Structure 1
Amino acid sequence: MKTASLTDTIEYKEDKPNIQKLLETPFSKEIRILLKAGQIMKEHTAPGAIVVEIFEGAVDFGVRGVVHHVKKGDLLTLDAKVPHDLKATEDSIIRLTLAKTDDIKRVFSVIRE
């Protein structure tokens, strides 16, 4: 058994989102993304399907140019290679589930550029 917490050691960064791999399972990677209100993740795609949970806060989640207002408790999924972007409208804790074959380095690259 492996355990992780979405709420332990919460540290929002002033200049960019804070991304941390929480755990890896035989079939997925579980990532926590901390976004302060106003922070963005530019448009990007994932090579595999993803699941996104808004654990805390609220986010404008753009999918192919259409903005969806998602909030605490909302859960969504996207197929592979669907362009999407995020803008936090409140301080937010986001859980991202990636396919095992996806690489967390790709997620970090979204905030570096």
Structure 2
Amino acid sequence: MNTASLVEQLVYQENKPAVTVLLITKTTKEIRIVMKQGQTMKEHKAPYPIVIELFEGSIDFGVNGIKKLLKKGDLIALDENVPHDLTCVSDSIIRLSLSNFDDVERVNSVNN
């Protein structure tokens, strides 16, 4: 059994979103992204399907250039290779589920 917390040991970085691996299971990596208002993650694609949960705050989530406001409790699932970007509207805690075949460094590389 593995356990983790989305709210313990939060660190809001001044210059870019903070990415932390919380759990690794047989099939996924569960990641927490902590963003301050105004921070962004530039457009990128994931090589495998992803699921994003907005645990706290709000973000403008762009998919193929179309923005959707996500707020606390919202979930979004994307297939592989779908262009998307994030702009933090209010301080946010995001849970990202990645395939174990995906690389956390790829997530860090899209931080502005």
- TM-score normalised to the size of structure 2? 0.98
How many positions carry a matched residue from both structures?
A: 112
Q: Does residue 25 of structure 2 align to residue 25 of structure 1?
A: yes
- 1:4-32 CA distance string (max 9 Å, x none): 00000111001100000001000100000
Alignment of 1:1-113 (within 5 A): 1-111=1-111
Structure 2 alignment gaps of length 5 or more: none
Superposed CA RMSD: 0.7
TM-score between both structures, scaled by the size of structure 1: 0.98
Runs of 4+ in 1 over 3 A off after TM superposition: none
**Matched residue type, 2:66:** V
The CA distance in 2 between the partners of 1:94 and 1:104, in whole Å, is 15
> Distance between the aligned counterparts of 1:111 and 1:53, measured in 2?
18
Q: What is the CA-CA distance between 1:111 and the residue it aligns to?
A: 1.2
Distance in 2 (alpha carbons) for counterparts of 1:15 and 1:100:
28
Q: Distance in 2 between matches of 1:97 and 1:76?
A: 11
Note the alpha carbon deviations across 1:53-99, whole angstroms, 9 max, x for none: 00000000000000000000000100000000000000000000001
SS of alignment partner, residue 57 of structure 1: strand
Question: Secondary structure of 1:111's partner?
Answer: coil
More strand by share: 2
Quote how far apart the aligned CAs of 1:50 are. Answer: 0.1
Counterpart-to-counterpart distance in 2, 1:111 and 1:86: 10
Letter in 2 for 1:66: I
Structure 1 residue runs without a partner (length 5+)? none
